[in-house]
Structure 1
Amino acid sequence: MNNLNDSLPDLMRRATDDLAPESNDLVERGIRRGVTLRRRRTALLSLSGAGAALATAGIIVGGTHVFAGTPEAPVAGTTAAAAPNAKPPVSKPATPAGTLATLRGLLPENLQQSAAKSYNDGGGQYRADVVLNDGKGESLLSLTIATSKPITSCDGMDHCKVQPDGSVVRSFANQSIKDPRRNPGGIKRSAVEIYRPDGRTISLQHFNASLSITQHTRPDPLLTVAQLTTIATSNTWVYPAAPPAAPRPPQQGDGRPAVPLQQTLQTLKSVLPKNLQLTRPETWGGGEEGFNGAAYVANDGKGGARVDVFVTYETPVTKCTGEGPQHCKVRADGAVTGWSKNEPTYGDERQEINGVLANRVEIHYPDGRMIAMTAYNGPQEKDAKHTRALPLFSTDKLFAMAGADGWKFPGTGRK
């Protein structure tokens, strides 16, 4: 069967290939929302067709952000801290052209504006770009504005803070868009993103380069984070209407009861060896999602290492397909098993830096139950260095724990 958790990000990225690098953060937020789907994809690098992990470029932090105690003060008159949730006045329906006009009207009058354009990016998103120049070099400003399903937490987002009114605000200044070794053009980015409780979302991405984003045209982006905040929190914005909700397709777990996430976490704890120190409990999925995930960082005295489990119902897998883990075997009871050993978690130079390896196993039962377990040689899959030479558990040990009695396989709870 198809692995939607890999194909959807691929499709979204292909749809935005022509956009400025790293400027499409609203799409990236949807992908990274991301903690759940990322973890699900991790567990299903599998017979479900997920042959390779998708690794996105890391961003090196080089600046500060206005909502987390930064020394950079907001410009006079900004209402960033107090009014990010203020609703705009009633006006004409939003259009891409109107969005661009609003953006241009909020910019400082002393700046030269060029290469202005706007368009409907689909899914209720409008985009607008304009190149600014103060006489010291061009600086691209890119806007995305939308109304969509609300984002209510900072999960998966750095430089982020939840405001007292429930708005989620992310901002930073003068970051390299990639690891400096992969950014020969010296491109930097400043950004302000606001996610309001009612689904209104606005993102401003500002670069120290012109429209081409290949070589910097000035040392830093022209506008400060405080200036971007004033623009983003203006009450003159008119937001696109949210797209109609798509009908919910039938799920594999329909007709089967949900399982509490804490029950899955407790079962994981019960199958782990008793001599381990367990920290950083984590769960994801649950409820109508139709899948449960749980994890611990386990330490046997030789280094903390992550171990996680994923349980769900799926369309029954009855044979090895040549996709997924390195090895596959159909057992005598009809279950299809897959496993891989010492699998790198990155496919580029970051693997040499972090050195995290994974042992993975999967059991696909004939009745549609599926369980996957993964052990690492570090405290997390990405963005951390390994703590031991090899993953904490062998594939044989993982199979023994995955096949233990007591696992409950969750459905969606829907009939």
Structure 2
Amino acid sequence: MPAHQPDDPFEDRLSAALHRTGGAFDSPRTELTAAGARRGRRMQVQRRAAIVGSVAALALVGVGGSLLLPGGTPDASPPSLAGNGSKAATTSYSGDDVVRALVKLLPKGAFTETESRGTDEELPPLAVGVFDDGKGPASLSLGLDRIPADAGKIDPSAQVMPCPEDGQGDLDSCESGLLPDGSAVTVYQGYEYSDRREDTKSWGADLVTPAGQHVSLIEWNAPAEKGEPVSRPEPPLTTAQLKKVAADGVWRRIIDAIPEEERPTASAGGHGGGALMPDYVVMRKLALLLPKGLDRDAGVSQDGYGSFVVDDGKGKGLVQVNVQPGMSADAGQLFGSGAETLPDGTRVATRQEPGEKGGAGVVMWTVDTLRKDGLRVVVSAFNTGDQTKAATRAKPALTMAQLRDIALSPRWTSTED
């Protein structure tokens, strides 16, 4: 595996099982991505890039507890929710605060909490549970996080989950637009499984503000994203309601209370060259670069790394990318005499070898590239969806030519998608 690949890019949080937002989101498998976590594993709203064909994952841990929505026994918001939420403020919010704020914005019904987190925990704030408006229980997930600004600037339209291009994706509907305050929001209606092998629908809203506050709200028409039969024809909130809840100012105040943290850089790993590419950017770019016709599932990531389990109908395979800046000093060690040098100075090396994690019959195909500015992009494909288990197909789902196209794509050096 390429240098500096994390030992467990969430292997024990397998996206498909692991699930979405900071511990609780799992977007439409081929429809969105996100997945994440902060502090090296920031939350990645798994439905984001997925809408263009991606997915992310985070583990969901059941905690238990229940609350009544307005109409039952209302729970007043804590005084802290009225704070100004400035980054300099000492205000913090508990997981219960996040749940109470969500409950006040939902239609009349009952919300049974499964998991929640506040602003002072290792992973980003979230509230995950089952909402029942009297028409059937439905899983509901809210994830909050901050997108780090580049030189203090955020382009919400470039950061919000994109809608698929015409003819791509498997959504019933998807709309992206700007709010009066400049925030970008995408609202979509899709399915938990892109092949619709089950009737589980997944609808959501993804919102990014000019300040980098990121809100992801997702709902299903079943009491769980997976493993439970549908309990109602459609999820409970309409697209208009999803948009309204996601745009509420309370989430921005809570996100502003998340402690600022220094993001890891390549130099921290012994190499100079600037900050690692944020996980959600890696996932979005990889999703856009994967060949058409692949069912994408189980996406996981962290800064500088992203992967998807893909299936072309002939069996599952893993595809992963490492993006590392400041690697020029290592060119001699990484690229031998057999490496190719392109006219623009980019070095290219290819390898076809046995897998590294012991799975029976597993092979690993890799294209390793190093641009003149020191940016290293390494793309690998395996003939299994899990490197520790036996091969599920004779060859990886992507050819060496396709891996080469992904690794050499100008998207990796572009500020646009």
Q: TM-score range by the shorter chain?
A: 0.3 to 0.5
* TM-score, normalised relative to structure 1: 0.46
* TM-score, normalised relative to structure 2: 0.46
Structure whose alpha-carbon radius of gyration is higher:
1
